[in-house]
Chain A
Amino acid sequence: MVSREQLLEIPFLQALSPRTQRCLAEKALELSLEPHLDLYQQGDPPTGLYILQSGRVKLYRHSKDKCQILALLVPGQCLGAESLPTDTPSPYAATTLSPVEALFLPPEHLRVLLDELPDFQELFLRLITDKLKQFITLVHDLAFRDVTSRLAMVLLARAETEGKPYEGGIGIERLLSQQEYADMVGTAREVVYRTFRKFESEGLVHITRTLILLRDLDRLRQIALHEAR
């Protein structure tokens, strides 16, 4: 059980009725998770709903030795239970990238809440359609943009959600490996390495041991919006 105050810290839960908030607070569990922990695998039975309070999680699909990262989630977003309405295997996997604090609604409670609370049902539908829109954008980027544009797009998206002002630009934490960047933009690690070098030589980014500093957001935006195909 968690307190109603904890729930109200999550913006998208604030619009729920007091009754629904009470029911959620009764059923939710608090989780503290280590980095690089697999929350669920692609093909697993439907999971419960995780609501991120802090930390980062990646959603990805993989087949044999290849991987496609579908989304990087930030606090206030949620994951899991995507296939609960159809009772089918999870369409993707989820792994923590950093220490994570999350609220968790186990699937058996989630089913009851979805049956009994119409406002929660609508909220859940909105969460699914939001993710759907996010994936449509990803398909668009993979289909029409080249690797350089896609990498610029990923850096800008991260700057928007988690960037902090530093002298000379906006800094984002070096959370992802080059392989993970490659898995996000659908290419090989070597290509990501070369593209970062190119960005650095053109003065667009500066990479330190702990940070990627985005030094020219306007130019990065131009590159990101370019549709090569």
Chain B
Amino acid sequence: MAFDRFPVKTAEVQSIPAFRDMPLEQLTLLASAMIRQTYAPGQIIFTEGEVSGSLWFVFEGRIKIIKQSLNGRVQGLCVMDQGKCFGSCPLFDINKNPASAQALDQVTLFLLPEAELQQVKVREPQLVKALLHIYSQRLTHLAKVSEILGTWAVPDRINDCLLTYANHTTMQPTVELTHEKLAALSGTVREVVSRHLGNLEKDGIIRSELGRIVILNPNALIPPCACEDRNVSPSSHRT
């Protein structure tokens, strides 16, 4: 991890959806309290069990939130990209981080340290409102992850991951995650993901390219057990 000497700009903070409607004066205050950090792909940002009350915002790149078993197996909880916020569960109740965070790509983060966070929180009730919004979204996401792990078959879980983490802004949706990361997110092992993706490719539903998976027929990936949630925009699954 590297601390960047360039200060965080007000306009950069404004690009974070949670703060879009915040008055300029308060945005400036928030920006002055933040520290720019960069992480290389694979670097750990914080680990499960650490005490930390800081808040991180993704400015560039992607990070993943993971749980790890005593046997070393990893379960992904979510992937977060630009504008997303993480790491503040212990904010009002100093406690241990319930999960770990790891950089997926080269990422730039804005860190709001705990002491500054407490100060800004007192002066700026809109920050608490923004956090309520973020955590409410995350609760919805985790409720769904629990249901998927508890009731869905493995192929459906992999298909759902492909749809959830695809970039839908391109002509054909693409997923830039390794088989191992897809396995962690869908609660299985890499071999099962590779076998399932091979079957999907044989059926003409996806195409594997170097470093990415192109989804040719998204409708064929919709799990039969998925209900109204599938109509929710993919970004809301990621928070």
Please state if B75 and A85 are interface contacts (CB–CB under 8 Å): no
| Contact with B140, one of A83, A129, A133, A185 (Cβ below 8 angstroms) | A83
With A126-B93, A139-B145 as known contacts, state yes or no: A84 contacts B67, CB within 8 Å: no
Alpha-carbon distance between A128 and B203 when the two chains are bound, in angstroms? 43
B-contact bits for A64-101, CB 8 A (1 contact / 0 none)? 10111010000000000011111011011000000000
- Residue B212 interfacial (CB < 8 Å): no
Residues of A within 8 A of B89 (CB): 129, 132-133
Please state if A64 and B224 are interface contacts (CB–CB under 8 Å): yes
Q: Which of B122-156 contact A (CB under 8 A)?
A: 125, 128-129, 131-133, 135-140, 142-147, 149-152
- Residue A135 interfacial (CB < 8 Å): yes
Residues of B within 8 A of A43 (CB): 227-228
Task: For the A-B complex with A61-B144, A125-B135 known, give 12 more contacts whose Cβ atoms are closer than 8 Å.
Answer: A64-B224, A83-B136, A83-B140, A86-B140, A88-B137, A91-B143, A121-B129, A125-B131, A130-B93, A139-B146, A186-B150, A227-B70
Residues of B within 8 A of A84 (CB): 136
Residues of chain A having any CB pair with chain B under 8 Å: 42-43, 61-64, 66-68, 70, 82-86, 88-89, 91-92, 114, 118, 121-122, 124-126, 128-133, 135-140, 142-144, 183, 185-186, 227, 229
Please state if B140 and A122 are interface contacts (CB–CB under 8 Å): no
Alpha-carbon distance between A85 and B77 when the two chains are bound, in angstroms? 22
19 A-B interface contacts by CB (under 8 A): A63-B147, A64-B224, A82-B140, A83-B140, A85-B132, A86-B136, A88-B140, A92-B143, A122-B92, A125-B92, A125-B132, A128-B136, A128-B139, A136-B67, A136-B98, A136-B99, A144-B71, A144-B75, A185-B150
| Contact with A129, one of B69, B92, B99, B187 (Cβ below 8 angstroms) | B92
| Residue among A89, A136, A227 having the largest count of chain B Cβ atoms under 10 Å | A136
Alpha-carbon distance between A29 and B236 when the two chains are bound, in angstroms? 33
| Contact with B73, one of A67, A138, A229 (Cβ below 8 angstroms) | A229
Please state if B125 and A118 are interface contacts (CB–CB under 8 Å): yes
Please state if A227 and B69 are interface contacts (CB–CB under 8 Å): yes
Please state if B187 and A128 are interface contacts (CB–CB under 8 Å): no
Residues of B within 8 A of A126 (CB): 92-93
Alpha-carbon distance between A86 and B227 when the two chains are bound, in angstroms? 20
Alpha-carbon distance between A121 and B149 when the two chains are bound, in angstroms? 32
Alpha-carbon distance between A118 and B126 when the two chains are bound, in angstroms? 10
Please state if B137 and A86 are interface contacts (CB–CB under 8 Å): yes
With A64-B224, A132-B139, A136-B77 as known contacts, state yes or no: A121 contacts B132, CB within 8 Å: yes
Residues of B within 8 A of A144 (CB): 67, 69-71, 73, 75
| Residue among A63, A126, A227 having the largest count of chain B Cβ atoms under 10 Å | A63
Q: Which residue of A lies closest to B135 (CB)?
A: A128
Please state if A142 and B93 are interface contacts (CB–CB under 8 Å): no
Please state if A63 and B92 are interface contacts (CB–CB under 8 Å): no
Residues of A within 8 A of B228 (CB): 43, 89
Please state if B142 and A143 are interface contacts (CB–CB under 8 Å): no
Residues of A within 8 A of B73 (CB): 143-144, 229
Residues of B within 8 A of A142 (CB): 146, 149-150, 187
Residues of B within 8 A of A121 (CB): 125, 128-129, 132
- Residue B91 interfacial (CB < 8 Å): yes
Alpha-carbon distance between A124 and B135 when the two chains are bound, in angstroms? 11
